[in-house]
Amino acid sequence: LYGAVRQGYLGLEMVHPKVKVPTHGSELPTTLTPVYPAGEGITQPWLRKRIARALLDVEIKDLLPETIRERLHLPDLHRAIKHLHHPPVGASLMALSDRTDPAWQRLKFDELVAQQIALRYSRELKAKSIAHAIAPTVTDLTDRLLASLPFALTRAQTRVENEIAKDLAKTTPMNRLVQGDVGSGKTVIAALAAARAIDAGFQAALMAPTEILAEQHFQKITQWLEPLGVTVAWLSGKQKTRDRQANLAKIVSGEAKLIVGTHALIQEGVTFQRLGLAIVDEQHRFGVAQRLALRSSSDEHLPHLLMLSATPIPRTLAMSYLADLDASVIDELPPGRQPITTKLVSIGRKAEVLASINEQVLQGRQVYWVCPLIEESEKLDLTAATETFNEIRDALPHLNVGLVHGALPAEEKQAVMDSFKDGHVQVLVA
């Protein structure tokens, strides 16, 4: 008999035990019984029988040399798998459940080794690809852009800019991730990289995951580059057909040197004349296929790829998790910027967060509350954002709360953003 044992009125009791009727000559199992996550219509006995048969029928070869196993105190692979599926009586349930058991450690180790081999192979394949070397002898636009900026680059920005310049000068396609907090100056690094590509006679494209973000980049970069004589084109899914056709013509003719937009950049009908550099902002919001689509080329040369992210990844983790990328970190904020404090708060303490928002606004500051996307689509975030907007407005009726999301008409979206920028909206939910 087996089941959950609990304290009853008369001592320990087992309510509704499962009963296994012994047959003549049968013995109790000599190992603990595994319980597997199973889909609908799949029973535990069915799964157990097949896994037990597989363990008997298949010889699992161990590719890890014995010297390494001994040094790391890891069991051989066959023994580890057998131990996890059929733990012997007396095995530590704690170690099995929190995955500190040597058998679990062995499987984790193998997964990490396999991932590293796959990433190394990926890097070797990329090394076989060819890119145009972007090493302009005259850096007229880059120099004029630097001279026209109303601020000086920080040491961190200068270092990252030099790392990108070295990568662009190679005939191996650049594959670099630039990390930096919000406000650390990633956009100007992207603009300088684009200027370097334009100086060398190429086009550059910058793709952002949402229309609002892409539009912010477009406005900022246009403000820097158009006075220097650079045509910057804009592409988005909600653009009027006539404007889109005009911009597509500028892109294919090469008149547009820098193209900024959303997923619309990788839609059918977009043909670049000579794309040398692809820039992807918030790269983790795009699928691999989408990032690769921006890199597709009409000749055998791949454009260089520069990715931007405000999501902090520790360097050691970046080196292992993103081993096929080179990572640069802008670890210094421009002068005058406030240091950033990051805190993680349980959803059960939402009332404290609302009180903190109220306090910040009373001190003359502004707040924005970002709701996550469920998928890579702007429209599916609507419910979460609207509910949060109503909740904050009900809790803090004396504050001016704004709402912005992908499904709003462009004019309304812009009006809310302008109102937030002007300080009229105190709390913006997005």
From 140-154, 301-315, 363-377, 381-395, the region with the lowest mean pLDDT: 363-377
Report the pLDDT value the prediction gives residue 374, as an integer from 0 to 100: 47
pLDDT, average across residues 39-43 = 87
Mean pLDDT taken over the chain = 86
Tokens of 5: 């044992």
Q: How many CA atoms lie within 13 A of 42 on its CB side?
A: 10
- Whole-angstrom distance, CA of residue 66 vs CA of residue 78: 13
- On the question of pLDDT at 151 being above 60, the answer is yes
Report residue 199's pLDDT band, with 50, 70 and 90 as the boundaries: very high
Report the pLDDT value the prediction gives residue 297, as an integer from 0 to 100: 58
Of the candidates 386, 318, 372, the one whose C-alpha atom is nearest the C-alpha of residue 175 is: 318
pLDDT, average across residues 5-22 = 89
If one counts every other C-beta atom within 10 angstroms of the C-beta of residue 56, the result is 8
From 155-169, 212-226, 259-273, 366-380, the region with the lowest mean pLDDT: 366-380
- Whole-angstrom distance, CA of residue 33 vs CA of residue 86: 7
pLDDT, average across residues 84-95 = 88
Report the pLDDT value the prediction gives residue 116, as an integer from 0 to 100: 83
- Whole-angstrom distance, CA of residue 215 vs CA of residue 418: 13
CA-CA distances (angstroms) from residue 355 to 48, 172, 349, 360, 392? 53, 53, 10, 9, 10
From 189-193, 195-199, 292-296, 419-423, the region with the lowest mean pLDDT: 292-296
Contact 200, 135 (CB under 8 A): yes
pLDDT, average across residues 167-185 = 89
Looking at per-residue pLDDT, the higher value among 129 and 189 belongs to 189
Radius of gyration of the chain (CA): 29
Report the pLDDT value the prediction gives residue 102, as an integer from 0 to 100: 92
- On the question of pLDDT at 237 being above 50, the answer is yes
pLDDT, average across residues 92-113 = 90
pTM for the full predicted model: 0.68
- On the question of pLDDT at 275 being above 80, the answer is yes
Q: Distance of alpha carbon 146 from its chain centroid, rounded?
A: 30
Of the candidates 411, 413, 410, the one whose C-alpha atom is nearest the C-alpha of residue 402 is: 413
Which residues partner with 329 through β-bridges?
179
CA angle 373, 180, 138 (to 5 degrees): 120
Report the pLDDT value the prediction gives residue 376, as an integer from 0 to 100: 44
Percent of the chain that is helix, strand, coil (3-state, to 5): 45, 15, 40
Report residue 375's pLDDT band, with 50, 70 and 90 as the boundaries: very low
CA-CA distances (angstroms) from residue 171 to 125, 146, 303, 362? 14, 25, 10, 55
Tokens of 77: 């692979």
